[in-house]
Amino acid sequence: MRIQVAIAVIVLGARCAFGNFAELVKQGDVYDAQFKPEAALQYYLPAEKLEPNNATLLVKIARQYVYRMPDLSAKADQLLSGRTALAYAERAVKLAPNDCDSHLAVAICLGKLTPLFSNKESVEASRRIKTAAETAVKINPRNDYAWHLLGRWHQAMAELGGLTRTIAKLVYGELPAASNEEAVQCFEKAIALNPDRLIHHVELGRTYAQMGRKAEAKQSLEKGLAMPDREKDDPETKERGRKTLRSLG
């Protein structure tokens, strides 16, 4: 009888924990959809204590720490939030190495951290971004953002300046094949998979601008800029697009 009671208590406790976990994540998702990271973390972090090895949740948490970064005024705070996000994403990859979103989270976190890094750190991060994006594409070739991140890698590598290019040779051994043409192909694949994501159009336009193809650059940029904001980074993306558009004259 005592054994049966003990088992019943364990089962009941597990059910309660599961119920709490599901409810916490559900409420966190509400704030995630509203781009309110501080509020989302109030639910996601307690949920993590219940299921610390839930890779899907870890990706959600990583996203919130990335979302926080633009709202932090001090570079040190931005770095801390970005590195915290990266740590969660890396945990997700270890727990779910065959999950596309886990690898995407690593690439996204590194991409957000890159502007805060030194030249050497940025080049080292770019190598990891490439690996993560290529892995994500391999796992799920129909993920538009995986293609987008791979396109951003080609775009960034194609416009490396002299000093950064020298550092890149030291980090990579020799520079990997990268070109604006490859970037265009990646962005076009992303657009074919998800034409409603404005960042694909803006970055395609910025790539055309790097190539000196002004007419195509203006067309893609104007299309992206005309689309409604739907994601956290859309205002920042549009500002980047407007700056490029102004430079075209």
CATH of the domain at 50: 1.25.40
88 occurs within a structural domain: yes
**Cβ neighbours around 203 below 10 Å, total:** 27
207 occurs within a structural domain: no
Q: Residue 26: its pLDDT value, please?
A: 97
Q: Residue 16: its pLDDT value, please?
A: 43
Q: Residue 10: its pLDDT value, please?
A: 43
Residues 168-184 pLDDT 10s: 666 666 666 678 999 99
Structural domain count of the chain: 1
Confirm whether pTM is higher than 0.75: yes
Sequence-distant (≥ 6) Cβ neighbours of residue 43 within 8 angstroms: 24, 25, 27, 28, 31
Q: Residue 166: its pLDDT value, please?
A: 65
Q: How far apart are CA 53 and CA 62, in angstroms?
A: 14
**Cβ neighbours around 199 below 10 Å, total:** 25
52 occurs within a structural domain: yes
Residue owning tokens 């070739």: 141
What is the residue type of 239? E
236 occurs within a structural domain: no
Q: Residue 159: its pLDDT value, please?
A: 79
58 occurs within a structural domain: yes
Domain ranges, residue 44: 37-116
**Burial annotation 82-108 (CB, 10 A radius, 16+ → b, else e):** bebbbebbbbbbeebeebbbbbbbbbb
Q: Residue 201: its pLDDT value, please?
A: 98
Q: How far apart are CA 238 and CA 232, in angstroms?
A: 11
152 occurs within a structural domain: no
Residue 77: which H helix or E strand, with range? Answer: helix 75-95
Q: Helices 234-247 & 198-210, crossing angle to 10 degrees?
A: 30
For the chain, list residues with pLDDT below 50.
Answer: 1, 4-18
Q: Helices 37-50 & 55-68, crossing angle to 10 degrees?
A: 150
Query: Within 13 Å and on the Cβ side, how many CA atoms surround 51?
Result: 23
Contact 142, 193 (CB under 8 A): yes
Q: Residue 126: its pLDDT value, please?
A: 87
